Structure 1
Amino acid sequence: MVKIFIRSFHSSSRVQILGKLSKTIKNTTPPPFKVVSIVKPVGSKQQPLASKNSQPETQSLWQSIKDTFDAEKREKRQAQLEREIAVGGFYDMQNYTKTQGKIFLPPVSYFKADKSLYFPNVIAKNLNNEMVHTTNLFKGKTTILRVFSSLEGEIRNRGFFQISNSNDSFLSSTGLIKLNELYPNTQIVELNLSENNLKHLFVNLAVRNLKTTIPEKRKHSYLIGHRSDLTSEVKDELMMKNVYTCFIYVIDKDCKIRWLTCGRSNQKEYDMLWKCVKGLNEE
């Protein structure tokens, strides 16, 4: 009788283990990638506050221990881990190579203010060694925000800032003067988000070189942060789903995302970007 019970117990345990393993394998299998068109506003419904960012608060040791034994939270962490495995760096690289960084297609026009959603507050350090809240930086101005985690993605994206009929760029010292002439009250903000701690260290070591290449008037708006400061939910809200491409967000004076794109520029998207900037300046 005891042997039968033991065999039954072992058999039941194996079924449970195999069931969980099968579920984990299924959840960590990358989904088929599809380039989507943005047809509705992107961002957060909640108005950002400069006193907060999207990084979760640091938990106490006791709270961490309690969470370890909380079945619901443990399940949530498991699901998050499975998702990160499924859409990790190799998956991102494959999709980046396949699409040349164009992982979504931008909206055909910029969103109306009353329909638009917010860009969340992010805290990062600028090249003047100051901690900056993006909400404070964006308020009252039209902002062209570039977000990138790789040099490859950043380089491919520079075409959006080429000045028409010129060899100059809006990213240069002389280009900034031209930007202020053509689009008053407009700024370019760059957010360099390191993918992991090792890359974050390399970026910080390269700050001295960055200070020599970034114009003096843009050092306050070149920000260095960590990609992990944005939760998966926030990155999903922003369509920031690939670590290798570069994203552009046109943000109005109220911190609302009015247009966005990613990857390499083309003439149609270039024209749309600057049409949007001009339209926001005239609002």
Structure 2
Amino acid sequence: MASRLANPRRFVACSLCQWQQRLFTTSARRLAEKPAPLPPTPSPPSAPAGTVPLQKPKPELPGAAIKAPRSYGARLDKFTPEPLPRPIGMPGPPHPNDNSGYDPRTIKERRDDFVNYDKHLARRRQLKAQMARPYFRDWSNLKFDNGKSFLAPPRPFKAEVSLFFPNFVGDTLDPAHGRFRATTNVLHGKTSIVALFQGRWAEDQTDSFLAPAANPALHALLADARGDDRLQLVRLNMEDNTLKAWLVSLFMGGLRRRLAASEWGRYFLVRRPVTPEISESIGLLNSKVGYVYLVDHLCRIRWAASAAATPDELASLVKSARTVLNEMERDRQDLRALEAAGQI
């Protein structure tokens, strides 16, 4: 103790060296260690007969769902769009916190991830893949049928094999809801026709499906379902460029004058970039093209189309929307029967 008091600088320096040695030793040990595999999760009990089962993650299907030009990979000289061969979407059901920027990790979990060398390598591969994408590839791919990546299916995908529409968070035109509203809260419990676009040209492509003059049969179906609000139109303006998003926000008043007040809460300005995993899963293969999705009351993608509408796709959209509406009504009747029987 006397030696420490006699030379306090040496004592402080030694303590600092010991602290640094413990820190770097711990970091190196964490880099070398591999986390132990988690025990298998027990399967949940099956639902009683006659009840509506909870939505579970679907198994990931092998291979790409869509064979179409992309913003990466080899350049194609010829391409003819084909109907979707199988359902598209995310394997797991969406949550309002997904893709919102919210990080549920604790400080310890963040530190462990920071010193995890495998995660650093994975992040490096993602950045390399993004930097290797040609900037003008999406523009050059517009020469194929105005950017049409696939044709809409003639009928909706079956509910039991359909995959999920991801959650997005953005600002709506409705001042009452404020900023950062989740699309899952709007889509759940209703049949929705979702238009996803970036830019005016892509929005005009989605209007070829949704405009009253282009698809009067769809608006007749909307008018029939407007009483109990079973069918709705949702528009997602995907603008990840900060300057462009700021310009769009300046003209929110003009968008409100263009749309009815009942539609303000269903127009989203999404500022966060779409991840490559989401783009590949839902068929968002060209950011300059508009896409239309038919999403059921459990947020499953039952039908999808890209670019400008064809006459067959217009008829297919109305037919599929009517089918999904009937399925939702049957589920509601089953739910009311269970509530009356006191089973839920």
When normalised by structure 1's length, the TM-score is 0.76
Matches of 2:208 and 2:189 in 1, distance apart?
26
Partner of 1:244: 288
1:123 is aligned, of 145, 169, 193, to 169
Alignment partner of 1:223 is 2:263: no
Q: 1:282 to 1:231 in 2, by over 3 A?
A: same
Q: Tell me the residue number matched to 1:211.
A: 256
Counterpart-to-counterpart distance in 1, 2:257 and 2:251: 10
Secondary structure in 1 matching 2:159: coil
Q: Does 1:181 align with 2:237?
A: no
Question: Does the residue aligned with 1:153 lie in a helix, a strand or coil?
Answer: helix
Structure with more strand by fraction = 1
Partner of 1:13: none
Aligned to 1:280: 324
Cα 1:255–1:40 change in 2 (3 A) is same
The corresponding residue for 1:32 is 75
Q: What is the one-letter code of the residue matched to 1:187?
A: Q
Superposition pairs of residues 21-170 of structure 1, within 5 angstroms: 30-33=73-76, 35=81, 37-50=83-96, 52-55=97-100, 57=102, 70-129=116-175, 130=177, 131-163=180-212, 167=213
1:183 and 1:278 in contact (8 A); partners too: no
Q: Is the 8 A contact 2:82 2:151 kept in 1?
A: yes
Residue aligned with 1:104, SS: coil
C-alpha change, 1:64 and 1:200, in structure 2 (3 Å) is: farther
Rounded Cα–Cα distance in structure 1 between residues aligned with 2:143 and 2:272: 21
Please tell me whether the aligned partners of residues 197 and 206 of structure 2 are also in contact (alpha carbons under 8 angstroms): no
- Cα distance change on mapping 1:70 and 1:168 into 2, 3 Å: closer
Larger mean Cα displacement after TM superposition, 34-43 or 62-71? 62-71
For these two proteins, the number of residue pairs brought into alignment is 246
CA contact (8 A) 1:160 1:270 kept: yes
User: Retained in 1: the 8 A contact 2:163–2:300?
Assistant: yes
Structure possessing the higher radius of gyration over alpha carbons: 2
Alpha-carbon shift at residue 57 of structure 1 (Å): 4.3
In structure 2, the residue corresponding to 1:109 is in which secondary structure? coil
In structure 2, do the counterparts of structure 1 residues 151 and 227 end up closer, same or farther at CA, with 3 Å as the change threshold? Answer: farther
- Asked if 2 retains the 8 angstrom alpha-carbon contact of 1:150 and 1:243, the reply is no
Alignment partner for residue 310 of structure 2, among 263, 266, 269? 266
Partner residue, 1:4? none
SS of match in other structure, 1:125 = strand
**Cα distance in 1, alignment partners of residues 313 and 214 from structure 2:** 19
Displacement of 1:159 in angstroms is 1.5
Secondary structure of the corresponding residue to residue 114 of structure 1: helix
Indicate conservation of the 8 Å contact 1:246/1:263, yes or no.
yes
1:4-61 C-alpha deviation (Å, 9 max, x unpaired): xxxxxxxxxxxxxxxxxxxxxxxx97423455542111111211223x2134545899
Give me the CA root mean square deviation.
2.8
CA distance in 1, matches of 2:111, 2:185: 36
Q: How far has the Cα of 1:62 moved from its partner?
A: 9.8
d(CA) in 2 for partners of 1:198 and 1:96? 24
Q: 1:231 to 1:168 in 2, by over 3 A?
A: closer
Question: Cα gap change, 1:278/1:72 in structure 2, threshold over 3 Å: closer, same or farther?
Answer: same
Shift of 1:186: 0.7
| Amino acid in structure 1 at the alignment position of 2:195 | R
Q: Is the 8 A contact 1:139 1:253 kept in 2?
A: yes
User: What is the letter of the counterpart of residue 40 of structure 1?
Assistant: R
The CA distance in 1 between the partners of 2:158 and 2:214, in whole Å, is: 31
Runs in 1 of length 4+ with deviation above 6 angstroms?
59-69
Give the unaligned 5+ runs of structure 2. Answer: 1-70, 328-344
**Unpaired segments ≥5 residues, structure 1:** 1-27
Higher-RCO chain (CA-CA 8 Å, sequence separation at least 6) = 1
Percent identity of paired positions between Structure 1 and Structure 2:
25
